[in-house]
Chain A
Amino acid sequence: MPASKRSAPTRLLLDLYRTMLRIRRVEERLSALFADGTIPGFIHLSIGQESVPAAITHHLTNSDTVAITHRGHGQALAKGINLDAFLAEMMGRASGICQGRGGSMHIADSSVGMLGANGIVAGGIPIAVGSALAHQLDGEGNIAVPYFGDGAIAEGVFHESLNIASLWNLPCLFVCENNGWGEFSKTDDQFAGNLKKLAATYNMDYQFIDALDVVKLSNLAGRMVKAVRKTSRPAILECKVTRHHGHYEGDPQKYRPEEELNQLGDQDPVSAAYDKLINGGVTAGELTELDQQIQAEIDASVAQAIAADHPQFEQATAGVYA
Chain B
Amino acid sequence: MSNSQPDNQPEVLRFGQALNRALGDAMRADDKVFLMGEDIALAGGPFGVTRKLLDEFGENRVRDYPIAEASMVNLAVGAALGGYKPVVEIMFMDFCTLAMDALVNQAAKAHFMFGEQGPVPLVLRTPHGGGLNAGPQHSQCLEAWFAHIPGLIVVCPSNAADAYGLLRAAINDPNPVVFVENKRLYSAKSDFPADPQPIEIGKARTARAGNDLTIVTYGNTVHLAEQVAKERAEQEIDIEIIDLRSLQPWDESAVLTSLSKTHRLIVLHEATEAFGIGAEIAARMADIGFDELDAPIIRLGAPFMPVPYSVALEAEFGPNADQLNAAIDRLLL
Q: How far is the CA of A100 from the CA of B68 in the complex (A)?
A: 30
Q: Are A101 and B309 in contact (CB under 8 A)?
A: yes
Q: Which A residues are in CB contact (< 8 Å) with B304?
A: 317, 320
Per-residue contact bits, chain B 7-37, to A (CB 8 Å; 1 contact, 0 not): 0000000000000000000000000000000
Q: A255-B43, A316-B308 are contacts. A100–B313 as well, Cβ < 8 Å?
A: yes
Q: Does A155 contact B (CB under 8 A)?
A: yes
Interchain nearest-CB distance for B132 vs A (Å): 7
Q: Which A residues are in CB contact (< 8 Å) with B39?
A: 183-185
Q: Does A311 contact B (CB under 8 A)?
A: yes
Q: Does B42 contact A (CB under 8 A)?
A: yes
CB-CB contacts below 8 Å: B93-140 with A: 94-95, 98, 132-138
Q: How far is the CA of A320 from the CA of B95 in the complex (A)?
A: 21
Number of residues from B at the complex interface, CB < 8 A: 33
Interchain nearest-CB distance for A39 vs B (Å): 9
Q: Which A residues are in CB contact (< 8 Å) with B311?
A: 40, 92, 310
Q: Which A residues are in CB contact (< 8 Å) with B313?
A: 92, 100-101, 310-311, 313, 316
Q: Which A residues are in CB contact (< 8 Å) with B56?
A: none
Partner of A105, one of B98, B138, B303: B138
Q: Does A180 contact B (CB under 8 A)?
A: no
Q: Are A103 and B309 in contact (CB under 8 A)?
A: yes
Q: Are B312 and A102 in contact (CB under 8 A)?
A: no
Residue of B at shortest CB range from A186? B42
Q: Are B312 and A152 in contact (CB under 8 A)?
A: no
Q: Which A residues are in CB contact (< 8 Å) with B305?
A: 316-317, 319-320
Residue of B at shortest CB range from A315? B313
Q: How far is the CA of A313 from the CA of B317 in the complex (A)?
A: 8
Q: How far is the CA of A92 from the CA of B95 in the complex (A)?
A: 23
Tell which of A48-56, A117-125, A200-208 binds the partner.
Answer: A117-125
Q: Does B67 contact A (CB under 8 A)?
A: yes
Q: Does A130 contact B (CB under 8 A)?
A: no
List chain A positions with a Cβ less than 8 A from chain B: 40-42, 91-93, 96, 98, 100-106, 118-122, 151-152, 154-156, 182-185, 189-191, 255, 310-311, 313, 316-317, 319-320
List chain B positions with a Cβ less than 8 A from chain A: 38-39, 42-43, 46, 64, 66-68, 70-71, 94-95, 98, 132-138, 303-306, 308-313, 316-317
